[in-house]
A = this chain, B = another copy of it.
Amino acid sequence: MRPSGRQPDQPREITLTREYTRHAEGSVLVEFGDTRVLCNASVEAGVPRWLRGKNQGWVTAEYGMLPRATHTRGGREAARGKQGGRTLEIQRLIGRSLRAAVNLKRLGEFTITVDCDVIQADGGTRTASITGGCVALIDAIRYLQRKKLIQQDPFKQLVSSVSVGIFRGTPVVDLDYPEDSGADTDMNVVMTEGGGLIEVQGTAEAGEFTRAELNAMLDLAEGAGRQLFEHQREALGMRG
């Protein structure tokens, strides 16, 4: 039995609120249950130095957590003077995942930075960031098209993400904090609408996991993915 009373294959309630703030070219508040992440996509002319003159754009992500997004207050990374390893690892994952949604060659020499800032954390902040960040990214792309700053459509495919895990021996999807902190195995899956895999990151927190468990978890992720893509399409006014 899950602490939340959810079925093993039942993700939390998911909402995607576009235009959540006013300045960003794409601004989405994503909620996976009590996990709330503000995903702001910013368009800037130019690309990083190592891409200059290559006639392509760039998509990157940054991740942060407000100090009291969590049960107990965490130190402010800006005050400590550096981003922690967990933060850097997560923002690298978000960036890689979001780049799978875009044809960088068609983006022109623009950089889109997707800032994912966790307002409230209850497990699954990185998967929510990818799912919401993809919507913000598409809004930023639409902005570029609307302003006629790019001619071609760099959008390639929707990308979404969900966590799966083995909790008290049972494979479950979209772990909240009580499950996440007690799970034997935790896996984050980044997927495309067509059923393809972009990232699979599974970790045995205690013991190990089997190939069979891995497959059960991937099945759950696939099922939840269908719902996530539906949410994304609906938010963006896309047809399935």
Residue among B91, B117, B202, B218 making CB contact with A197, cutoff 8 Å: B202
Q: A200 and B214: CB pair below 8 A?
A: yes
Q: Is A204 an interface residue (CB 8 A)?
A: yes
Contacts of A81 in B (CB 8 A): 81-82
Chain B, Cβ-Cβ closest to A202: B200
Shortest A133–chain B CB gap in Å is 13
Q: Is A161 an interface residue (CB 8 A)?
A: no
Contacts of A218 in B (CB 8 A): 211, 214
Within 8 A of B (CB), among A38-96: 38, 40, 42, 44, 62, 64, 66-73, 76-89, 91-92, 96
Shortest A96–chain B CB gap in Å is 6
Q: B22 and A40: CB pair below 8 A?
A: no
Shortest A120–chain B CB gap in Å is 5
How many monomers of this chain does the complex have?
A: 6
Chain A contact residue count (CB 8 A cutoff): 66
Q: A73 and B119: CB pair below 8 A?
A: no
Contacts of A38 in B (CB 8 A): 66, 119
Q: Is A9 an interface residue (CB 8 A)?
A: no
Given A21-B120, A62-B76, A211-B197; A115-B67 close (CB under 8 Å): yes
Q: A204 and B100: CB pair below 8 A?
A: yes
Residue among B23, B68, B85 making CB contact with A71, cutoff 8 Å: B23
Contacts of A200 in B (CB 8 A): 187, 200-202, 214
Shortest A210–chain B CB gap in Å is 6
Chain B, Cβ-Cβ closest to A210: B196
Q: A120 and B197: CB pair below 8 A?
A: no
Q: A89 and B85: CB pair below 8 A?
A: yes
Q: B40 and A66: CB pair below 8 A?
A: yes
Contacts of A85 in B (CB 8 A): 85, 88-89, 91-92
> Beyond the given A42-B68, A198-B203, A200-B200, could you list 18 further A-B residue pairs with CB under 8 A, ordered by the A residue number?
A21-B36, A22-B120, A23-B68, A23-B71, A24-B68, A38-B119, A42-B73, A44-B72, A62-B79, A64-B76, A73-B113, A78-B83, A81-B82, A85-B91, A96-B203, A196-B209, A197-B209, A214-B218
Nearest first, the 10 A-B pairs at minimum CB distance are A196-B208, A85-B88, A77-B78, A40-B68, A42-B73, A200-B202, A78-B78, A24-B68, A89-B89, A21-B120
